[in-house]
A and B are shown apart, each in its own frame.
Chain A
Amino acid sequence: MATGTRPSELRFLDPAVLARLGTLELKARTVVEGFLSGLHRSPFKGFSVEFAEYRQYMPGDDLSSIDWKVYARSDRYYVKKFEEETNLDCYLLLDVSASMGYGSRGVTKLEYASMLAGSLAFLMQRQRDAVGLTTFDDSIVTMLPPSARPSHLRSLLVTLDRMTLGNQTNVAKPLHQLADGIAKRGLVILISDLIDEPERVVDGLRHFRFRGADVVVFHVMDPAELTFPFTRASRFRDIEGGDELMAVPSVVREQYLGELNGTIDRYRRELGAAGIDYRLLDTSEPLEFALMSYLSTRGKGRK
């Protein structure tokens, strides 16, 4: 779980600080450049089609990576290593429902999600992947088809920058619509707070898997949602429905957290079972962790 493995390095930017930076492009560049500059390149070798080096075969290596021509010449087993270069289509699905507007510490879930989407798009662009963006609440709001052109990144970031909050969450419906629309096998990244019926969400994501896409789910949650830190008896107004609930936090906290953690566990279990990568993101967490999750998923997909 991402929240449980917060690193101590200070080189990652606090999302709240990041949110105060200028344009989304700047934010994305800041994240990605910082992220890449701190990464050791070696973990990502093998993802690319561009030749990098030979290495002597070790037991356990994929037999398909053995260069048989070298073996013919030298009678030794060598393994070819590549740098990633793809024509992969990546679909960023961003939840813009009203509940995403919640933020307890300077950055809302939507801001965090859009920075994440921007960073991912920026990163993908650098790796020459085609990236598309779809925003939705209870239906699809905007849709940018995947493209690897540099100008596309700009329009994608502008779209992210101009996003406004929508209506109530209904993840399943737009997921099914999008799954039907994907013509080519690709990578689907869902960024949402998943405030919906888990069954319907999982069902929608399975649809992508059925179409052959790799799926990464970033479950964005505010720290206040994860810890329920309130102390005074208060009226809690649902951002989406406007319903008010009167609760004494000390009384309801245990049950709330139990309910929340049960749902998270359920997502993790059911999505894992469906071959979907699930990451829970705390909006107080640096975005780099999310990028790391993405790259590891990307790597697994290429193996």
Chain B
Amino acid sequence: MISFLSPLFLAGAAAVVIPIAIHLFYKRAEPLIDFAATRYLRRAPVEQSQRRRLRELVLLALRAAALLLLALAFARPYLSQSAVALAAPATMVLVDTSVSMSGPGEFERARAKALQVIADAPIGHSVGVLSFGAGSTSVAPLSQDRGRARAAIANLTPGAGATRYRAALARAAEEFGDRSGRLVVITDLQQTGWDGADQGGVPDRLTVDVEGVEGPTANTALTALRVDGPEAVAIVQNYSSRMVTTEVVFSIDDRRIGASAVSMASGGSAEARLSLEGQASGRLAAAVDDRQGYAADNVRYAVLDTANAPLILAVTASGNPAESFYLDRAVGITEGPGGFRFRAVSGPAFSDLQPPALAEASVIVILGTRGLEQRGRELLAGFIRSGGGVLITAGPDVDPAILKGALNGIMQTSWRDREAVPSEKTLRFAPDDSRHPVFRLFGGVGTLGNVSFSHAALIDVPATADVVARYSDGSAALVEERTAGGRVLIFASDINDRWNDFPLQPAFVPFIHEALRYLTSSRVAKAEYLVGELPGLEGLTPGVTALKNDARSRRVAVNVDPRESDPARMSADDFRAGVSRLNATAQREASTEARDQEDGQRLWQYALLLMVVSLAAEGMLGRRLG
């Protein structure tokens, strides 16, 4: 269908009356002479009147076409996919099957309302049913078969998905195609149903009505479950106007491992913790008993799996375990669920690593550069570019020239060795920015001040780097390089008890942990998804499912969207306002899309070209006519 970006210019087509008027006037101006001896004229260069009239009509058509094409070109035409409503009108019921419809008796009321809408649909209207929750599904496509629609409604049950009005309305509009009609949304009018996205919209030929369904006013929901070191932590939220005390029951693979009681004030939340000592892996679940609220948010899942722990890969000079002894010890303390895995390799061994093995690592700690061949350097650069975190210790085994060459274009920071500090003037270090995640735990200098450095590298801090900690002489002790990929921290000394006593100080382990945690944060694989985020049926059911990625399989938890647990509602007017906002946005989008389409098609150029051709033909024909 042809549409116009500036349809007002089409009014210019009215100018077509000018050549028509001229044509008529010209006809009158030309004298008509009755003559008897036309016989002797016929061989002269005269023109038969009929042929001339035809030519004049062609001329007129060409002039009119030129004007019309000019108006058309200015109106900026484009071909759009939109169609005119031609098919019979229809009524479609959109039934909310999200978590928030799972309150006691709530869905039965919704079902009754949906059936009533079907019964009230005007005779001749096609009817259809669309459920929306974790995605939008047309459970009864538009047809005259009302029995089928009623059966589809009877089979509907609330799921674990979240309310997404925008997606549901867009899908319904798709189902309507060219038809006009009415959309009736049966929902609990949950406030969180209008998501932030602004695509979609309902065409003008469809009217949207909403039928609100009363839901529970109180709800106790598990909104988070995570493994925090050796403990499982569940967060319980109380969405009611009174205080609630409940028990959170933890289980692994459906085997109860313990429970924790929590009390929450009205609208408040509480953490329930349980030690996971002795538990290595499995499906961790936390559950509360809430019979007044929504059923689907009473349980939450997490994956307990050491294989998911981030891998710290230390590159040492020779591969001797002694070269990474303190780091290994510091990391090893937290091995297990919620901790780290550790592996140390020599420079040559690192250079031989295959990309999948390297991709498994979350952080690379450079303790030595000896034997780091060209391939190893390229691997290191690629690792950072792909988002990996690197901790460089500017110790005695690390050659700044090798790293500068390897990370050319990624890291601008360089350093050089400096004289050993006399024992009476040992350096101390303190955070330059105590809000940095590495030092947040220390709350200022704290125990870090006890570390004494006898030897330190002198870092030249470029504009692309930030100083995170400084030595007592003011030089940089810890620098973070800002890269386009992963994070890079440069520590201006070693961490293996050679240039300082840091590994012997209590601050060492938390420092290493926080630094590694900070470096891994950009690389840690997501372990929890909301219902509907993963494809397939597994993604629609809360629980734990296996996720295949690059021939590796890892387990992830699928939980309901915590926003669904909030029983706060909006009014029907608020809902309609949301539809209006959506439509306004859709119109803006359509306008932009139309502009893009028109820009891509450039039909106006063809119209102008045709106009020039018309004018040229008109000129030639007119000249021939005299």
User: A239 to B31, alpha carbons, bound, how many Å?
Assistant: 15
Q: How far is the CB of A252 from chain B (nearest CB, A)?
A: 4
Residue B34 at the chain A interface, CB threshold 8 Å: yes
Contact A236 B33 (CB under 8 A): yes
Q: How far is the CB of B53 from chain A (nearest CB, A)?
A: 9
Contact A255 B45 (CB under 8 A): yes
Residue A199 at the chain B interface, CB threshold 8 Å: no
A195-B39, A233-B626, A235-B49 known; A247-B34 Cβ under 8 A: no
Contact A263 B41 (CB under 8 A): no
Residue B35 at the chain A interface, CB threshold 8 Å: yes
Residue A180 at the chain B interface, CB threshold 8 Å: no
Contact A230 B30 (CB under 8 A): no
A252-B44, A256-B44 known; A245-B49 Cβ under 8 A: yes
Return the chain A residue nearest B43 by Cβ.
Answer: A259
User: A247 to B35, alpha carbons, bound, how many Å?
Assistant: 12
User: A195 to B49, alpha carbons, bound, how many Å?
Assistant: 21
Q: How many residue pairs bridge A and B at CB < 8 Å?
A: 98
A242-270: contact bitstring with B at CB < 8 Å (1 yes, 0 no)?
A: 01111110011001100110010000000
Q: Which residues of B contact A239 (CB under 8 A)?
A: 34-36
Contact B38 A243 (CB under 8 A): yes
Contact B45 A237 (CB under 8 A): no
Contact B43 A245 (CB under 8 A): no
Q: How far is the CB of B345 from chain A (nearest CB, A)?
A: 100
Return the chain A residue nearest B38 by Cβ.
Answer: A238
Q: Which residues of B contact A111 (CB under 8 A)?
A: none
- Chain B interface residue count, Cβ-Cβ cutoff 8 angstroms: 23
Return the chain A residue nearest B32 by Cβ.
Answer: A235
Return the chain B residue nearest A254 by Cβ.
Answer: B44
A235-B49, A244-B49, A246-B47 known; A109-B36 Cβ under 8 A: yes
User: A218 to B317, alpha carbons, bound, how many Å?
Assistant: 135
A225-B36, A235-B30 known; A243-B44 Cβ under 8 A: no
Q: Which residues of B contact A236 (CB under 8 A)?
A: 33, 35, 38, 41, 46
Q: Which residues of A contact B40 (CB under 8 A)?
A: 256, 259-260, 263
Residue A99 at the chain B interface, CB threshold 8 Å: yes
Q: Which residues of B contact A260 (CB under 8 A)?
A: 37, 40
Q: Which residues of A contact B416 (CB under 8 A)?
A: none
Q: Which residues of A contact B34 (CB under 8 A)?
A: 102, 237, 239
Contact B47 A247 (CB under 8 A): yes
Q: Which residues of A contact B38 (CB under 8 A)?
A: 236-238, 241, 243, 245
Contact B37 A252 (CB under 8 A): no
User: A235 to B49, alpha carbons, bound, how many Å?
Assistant: 7
Residue B526 at the chain A interface, CB threshold 8 Å: no
Contact B36 A193 (CB under 8 A): yes
Contact B37 A225 (CB under 8 A): yes
Q: Which residues of A contact B581 (CB under 8 A)?
A: none
User: A256 to B43, alpha carbons, bound, how many Å?
Assistant: 8
Residue A232 at the chain B interface, CB threshold 8 Å: yes
Residue A240 at the chain B interface, CB threshold 8 Å: yes
Contact B44 A195 (CB under 8 A): no
Return the chain B residue nearest A255 by Cβ.
Answer: B44
Q: How far is the CB of B273 from chain A (nearest CB, A)?
A: 105
Residue B42 at the chain A interface, CB threshold 8 Å: yes
Q: How far is the CB of B625 from chain A (nearest CB, A)?
A: 8
Q: How far is the CB of B133 from chain A (nearest CB, A)?
A: 79
Q: Which residues of A contact B45 (CB under 8 A)?
A: 247, 251-252, 255
User: A259 to B44, alpha carbons, bound, how many Å?
Assistant: 9
Return the chain B residue nearest A232 by Cβ.
Answer: B31
Residue B48 at the chain A interface, CB threshold 8 Å: yes
Q: How far is the CB of A231 from chain B (nearest CB, A)?
A: 10
Residue B52 at the chain A interface, CB threshold 8 Å: yes
Could you tell me which A residues sit within 8 Å of B by CB distance? 98-102, 109, 193, 195, 221-222, 224-225, 230, 232-241, 243-248, 251-252, 255-256, 259-260, 263
The 9 closest A-B pairs by CB, nearest first: A244-B49, A252-B44, A102-B36, A99-B36, A255-B44, A247-B46, A259-B40, A238-B38, A246-B47
19 A–B pairs (Cβ distance < 8 Å), ordered by A = A195-B39, A221-B37, A225-B35, A225-B37, A232-B31, A235-B32, A235-B33, A235-B49, A237-B34, A239-B34, A241-B38, A243-B38, A245-B47, A246-B48, A247-B47, A251-B45, A255-B43, A259-B40, A259-B44
